[in-house]
Amino acid sequence: MVENLKLGIVTAASLEKGVDVRLDAPVSVEDMVVGRYVTIEGQKRRFFGMITDVSLGVTDERLAISPPDVNDPFIADVLTGTSTFGTIHVTPMLTISGDAKAVLEGPQPVKTIPAHFAAVNLASEQDIENVFGKEDKERFNIGNPLDMETKLCLNLVELVKRSNGIFGKSGTGKTFLTRILLIGMLQKSQAVNLVFDMHNEYGWIGTREGGGTAKGLKQLFPAKVAVFTLDEESSRRRKVSTDFVVKIGLNEIMPEDISILRSTFNLTDLAVEAAYQLYKILGHDWLNKVLNLGEEELEELLKGATIHEGSFENLKRGLGSIGRLGFVVPEAKGDSVKNILDFLLQGRNVVLEFGRYQEIGAYLLVANLLSRRIYSRYKEQMEEAIAVDNEALKPRPLVITIEEAHKFLNPEVADKTIFGTIAREMRKYNVSLLVIDQRPSGISEEVMSQMGTKITCLLDNERDIDSVLAGVSGKNELKSVLSRLAPKQQALIFGHAVPMPVAFQPVAYDAKFYASLTGAGQKSTTEQVEKDIEELWK
């Protein structure tokens, strides 16, 4: 479709309900696509908006009740554009020009509507660039608006200021979107990432849609990424080059880490409360002692602690599941948190692979335990820097990436986990979240409301859609756009990192994308780049 093509004229408008546009006779209604962008030429300003609905209209209702015989092409041509016509509904998002002040300030939120009969055109690539900006040291290309070839650029400076989310049902491409976003932050953001890689997709090598493999972050940026693992054997089998093997000591596990496992291990509230009591009585090595109690010691302990035997047995069953995890040892020799922090503070991103330990209990335990302790260190450093008013002492901004986010952030546990705290504090201590989930309705409403930018692939559950779009202006119109996304490789993004919601096709994670990374981030000869590309995608 030709850019700047005149589509039609405004016939009705409401600031709350949007703009109705009657299409000109030569414009086929079948070319109109929900999610496409248009400009409206008002008398004093230009409006930039999104097509959110397409419909047919007639000048005489009798034509709909008793349709004419249109087997004759001449009759069909006569009726089209005169007695019958197409209409589109447009939701204006921004004004992109006006007086000199408006031009200097850039796109502004819509506060008025265009006049009757204002001309409506397809948005051009220049219009898209004026709204979303062009790729530079702060903006990263994440794809193309639907049915357009122009680049869609994300403001990474704004992105890392708050926690963000990537949503979509299984198989829609969340993993590839996450990889692309992590690469953008790694290239152009001052933030570092700690990725809890449950399915071993981001570190050294990952899978591709339809089979095959794609290189992970460390292969693309070996000097900027470190791969940690919980499962050295799995890493060795997969020929993954790792920087550190993480072990969790029983003496490192606190009652707070047990609380998040309540539903996973079917622990009762009394059993969780018993964990806190046992920690108070037995100290830091409480878990190891509990697992090795003799009968007499147990009886004496329960009497002194007023813990019901049934609650204790319930707790012990859960603790036994933790003790059987291969990466859990009585006392870890190396300080995993210190090693992770050392890499992060040096500006190196850390991906923690879980190997064969992909059960949700292991993931919840490790992510919560390590994040809690890392956040504590970040908080201490930030408070020390604030006390002496020294920006140089502040730690690098940290983004923690977690999958299966509803397990950490559901209403029952969100206020008890470190992730709920981080989401609510909005990077108060230079720490934010990137959450990935296929069930956003399972995440606490309070946490969802604090997310600065959301990227959502196709969702088919009404509750999930409502959860993602809660509090967004034009929610009903965006619902229409979201429901019509393709099952794969299409997404809707909105929030602080973009000036307005936009449906887009993510950049392909292929040889061309790899070449752009190599050309931007490494001083290589053309021959070396071609060799690397051949090796990557062979």
Alpha helices in 141-231 (DSSP H): 156-159, 174-188, 217-220
pLDDT confidence of residue 248? 94
Question: What are the pLDDT digits (tens) for 382-407?
Answer: 999 999 988 888 888 999 999 999 98
- Residue listed under structure tokens 């859990």: 328
Cα(184)–Cα(189) distance, integer angstroms? 7
pLDDT confidence of residue 530? 53
Average pLDDT over residues 450-460: 93
Top pLDDT among 346 and 189 is at 346
Sign of the torsion formed by the C-alpha atoms of 69, 71, 74 and 80: positive
The conformation of residue 510, written as its DSSP 8-state character, comes to S
pTM recorded for the entire structure? 0.86
Question: What are the pLDDT digits (tens) for 495-517?
Answer: 999 999 999 999 887 767 777 77
Picking from 168, 208, 169, the residue whose alpha carbon sits closest to that of residue 510 is 208
Classified as helix, coil or strand, 13 is: strand
82 Cβ contact list (under 8 Å, min separation 6): 25, 59
pLDDT surpasses 50 at 536:
no
pLDDT surpasses 70 at 524:
no
Average pLDDT over residues 425-451: 91
pLDDT confidence of residue 301? 81
- Beta strand 502-506 with 491-495 is antiparallel
Cα(488)–Cα(312) distance, integer angstroms? 47
Classified as helix, coil or strand, 515 is: helix
- Beta strand 453-456 with 248-249 is unpaired
Question: What are the pLDDT digits (tens) for 22-61?
Answer: 999 888 888 998 888 999 999 888 999 999 999 988 887 8
Cα(205)–Cα(465) distance, integer angstroms? 32
Contact criterion met (CB below 8 Å) for 419 and 409: yes
430 Cβ contact list (under 8 Å, min separation 6): 378, 382, 394, 395, 396, 397, 398
Question: What are the pLDDT digits (tens) for 69-125?
Answer: 667 676 666 667 677 889 999 999 998 865 544 445 678 888 999 999 999 999 988
* H or E element at residue 64: helix 61-65
pLDDT confidence of residue 58? 84
- Beta strand 192-197 with 349-353 is parallel
Top pLDDT among 535 and 171 is at 171
Lowest mean pLDDT among 256-265, 423-432, 515-524: 515-524
* H or E element at residue 401: strand 398-402
Q: Where are the domains of the chain?
A: 6-132, 157-245+335-507, 250-323
Cα(328)–Cα(243) distance, integer angstroms? 19
Cα(76)–Cα(56) distance, integer angstroms? 15
264: phi then psi, degrees, rounded to nearest 5: -65, -40
Contact criterion met (CB below 8 Å) for 518 and 222: no
* H or E element at residue 424: helix 418-425
301 Cβ contact list (under 8 Å, min separation 6): 278, 281, 293, 307
Which class for 74: exposed (0-12), middle (13-18), buried (19 or more C-beta within 10 A)? exposed
Cα(458)–Cα(437) distance, integer angstroms? 12
Q: Does domain 157-245+335-507 have CATH number 2.60.120.620?
A: no
Cα diameter, the chain? 99
Q: At what angle do helices 511-521 and 526-537 cross, to 10 degrees?
A: 140
Question: What are the pLDDT digits (tens) for 343-389?
Answer: 999 999 999 999 999 999 999 999 999 999 999 999 999 999 999 98
Alpha helices in 283-323 (DSSP H): 286-291, 295-305, 309-323
pLDDT confidence of residue 59? 83
- Residue listed under structure tokens 């920087």: 243
Query: In sequence order, what are the beta bridge partners of 122?
Result: 38
pLDDT confidence of residue 69? 66
Picking from 8, 49, 3, 50, the residue whose alpha carbon sits closest to that of residue 29 is 8
Confidence of residue 518 (pLDDT cuts 50, 70, 90): low
Average pLDDT over residues 144-162: 88
What order do you get walking across the sheet with 139-145 strand by strand? 152-155, 139-145, 502-506, 491-495, 453-456, 164-167, 431-437, 398-402, 192-197, 349-353, 225-229, 244-245
- Beta strand 37-41 with 119-122 is antiparallel
pLDDT confidence of residue 531? 54
Contact criterion met (CB below 8 Å) for 90 and 40: yes
Average pLDDT over residues 445-473: 91
Specify the length of the chain in residues: 538
Contact criterion met (CB below 8 Å) for 405 and 165: yes
Question: Which token pair is 459?
Answer: 């969702």
Contact criterion met (CB below 8 Å) for 516 and 532: no
Cα(499)–Cα(488) distance, integer angstroms? 24
Cα(245)–Cα(230) distance, integer angstroms? 6
Q: What counts of helices (H) and strands (E) characterise the chain?
A: 22, 23
Cα(429)–Cα(409) distance, integer angstroms? 19
pLDDT surpasses 50 at 339:
yes
pLDDT confidence of residue 525? 42
Contact criterion met (CB below 8 Å) for 407 and 360: yes
Q: What is the mean pLDDT of the chain?
A: 86
